[in-house]
């Protein structure tokens, strides 16, 4: 809907179409999701209160294959090959991390009771992470052994189903829920959101991502795994999101990582070991694995006094310049770093 349109106007529009909404959006942006036939679609396109109409699409996780492991030590080292992760003892304390994904195995011992189930916008009513992708991402953000911010609180917002896919409307509903509810959590030092997912370019997804950033939250998103310009996918193409490309243990751009001027920073995304449902761990590859390194770094920096406003720029400014080789022209070559480079 156009800016300034009230929810009552949305309801009137749907009533005139003789249809109901699957979701209504009022915080991230004004809009609704509904199933329309051709006549209803034509009518809604002609409605002066409607700014744009977007077709539903499938959103999916960004990971490739499992393999060997290396770890989070690269974030606190000047050169590749380090085996020690150095960090401030604050370690994300007083922050909250919302993981929009397949869910989190909140009972995993690596989370030490800091993980909570928040909401489900995927198909079905499952409160489990069957696929495992969300648990892996949450572990990189804040688990005891594999996490960047080891004291942050973790919240599962399930927007992808057990097969790792979801819909535009469901993902936007999850983003809307975060904008409405995240401030209710006890997070005195700030809130970060991780979205290790994406699909083709979506104005709705990007608008919702911009709303998250405008709410004062730090949003890290995966750049995508198609080895193309990140401008082709969402939410990676939203400028207000912190878009993360993937690098390997030799500081080369991962062969699958998207690139381009919209990539804000690189982080480890190849052979990443982290938590997996059932008290296990697993190794995964993908920009899905890179993004939670930066989400965790965001929580870490918030806990030691940085502010969410401009945090992505700060991460790029304090990262290791010209560290990533093989990047195409016009793509940043900076590797995320927590300031403890040895």
DSSP strands (E only) in the chain: 23-25, 31-33, 58-61, 95-101, 115-120, 153-158, 165-167, 190-195, 197-200, 218-222, 233-234, 242-247, 265-268, 272-276, 280-284
Handedness of CA 119, 23, 123, 163 (dihedral sign): negative
Crossing angle for the helix pair 311-318 and 287-303, nearest 10 degrees? Answer: 100
**Distance from the Cα of residue 242 to its chain's centroid:** 9
CA-based nearest residue to 233, from 23, 58, 31: 58
Distance separating alpha carbons of residues 189 and 140, to the nearest angstrom: 19
Distance separating alpha carbons of residues 104 and 83, to the nearest angstrom: 27
Distance separating alpha carbons of residues 173 and 24, to the nearest angstrom: 8
Which residues have a Cβ under 8 Å from the Cβ of 317 and sit 6 or more positions away? none
CA-based nearest residue to 136, from 223, 64, 199, 200: 64
Could you count the other beta carbons within 10 Å of the beta carbon of residue 167? 22
Crossing angle for the helix pair 203-214 and 168-181, nearest 10 degrees? Answer: 10
Positions marked catalytic: 101, 133, 288
Distance separating alpha carbons of residues 157 and 179, to the nearest angstrom: 12
Distance separating alpha carbons of residues 143 and 246, to the nearest angstrom: 20
Distance separating alpha carbons of residues 299 and 289, to the nearest angstrom: 16
Q: 5 and 51 in contact (C-beta within 8 Å)?
A: no
Q: 269 and 252 in contact (C-beta within 8 Å)?
A: no
């Amino acid at each position: 809907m156009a800016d300034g349109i009230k929810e009552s106007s949305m309801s009137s529009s749907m009533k005139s179409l003789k249809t109901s909404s699957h979701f209504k959006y009022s915080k991230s942006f004004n809009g609704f999701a509904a199933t329309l036939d051709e006549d209803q679609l034509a009518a809604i396109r002609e409605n002066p209160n409607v700014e744009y109409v977007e077709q539903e699409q499938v959103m999916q996780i960004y990971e490739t294959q499992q393999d060997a492991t290396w770890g989070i030590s690269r974030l606190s080292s000047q050169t590749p090959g380090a085996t020690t992760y150095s960090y401030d003892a604050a370690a994300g304390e007083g922050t909250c991390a919302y993981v929009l994904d397949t869910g989190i195995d909140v009972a995993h011992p690596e989370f030490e009771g800091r993980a909570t189930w928040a909401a489900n916008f995927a198909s079905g009513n499952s409160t489990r992470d069957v696929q495992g992708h969300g648990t892996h991402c949450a572990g990189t953000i804040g688990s005891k052994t594999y996490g960047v911010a080891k004291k942050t609180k973790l919240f599962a917002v399930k927007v992808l189903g057990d097969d790792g896919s979801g819909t535009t409307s469901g993902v936007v509903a999850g983003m809307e829920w975060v904008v409405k509810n995240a401030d209710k959590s006890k997070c005195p030092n700030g809130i970060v959101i991780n979205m290790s997912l994406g699909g083709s370019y979506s104005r709705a997804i990007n608008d919702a991502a911009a709303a998250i950033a405008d709410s004062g939250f730090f949003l890290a998103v995966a750049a995508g795994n198609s080895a193309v310009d990140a401008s082709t996918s969402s939410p990676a193409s939203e400028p207000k999101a912190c878009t993360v490309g993937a690098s390997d243990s030799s500081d080369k751009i991962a062969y699958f990582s998207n690139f381009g001027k919209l990539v804000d920073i690189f982080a480890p995304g190849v052979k990443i070991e982290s938590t997996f449902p059932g008290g296990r761990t697993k190794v995964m590859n993908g920009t899905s694995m890179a993004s939670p390194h930066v989400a965790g770094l965001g929580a870490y920096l918030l806990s030691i006094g940085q502010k969410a406003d401009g945090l992505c720029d700060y991460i790029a400014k304090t990262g290791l310049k010209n560290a990533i080789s093989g990047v195409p022209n016009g793509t940043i070559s900076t590797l995320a770093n927590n300031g403890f480079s040895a």
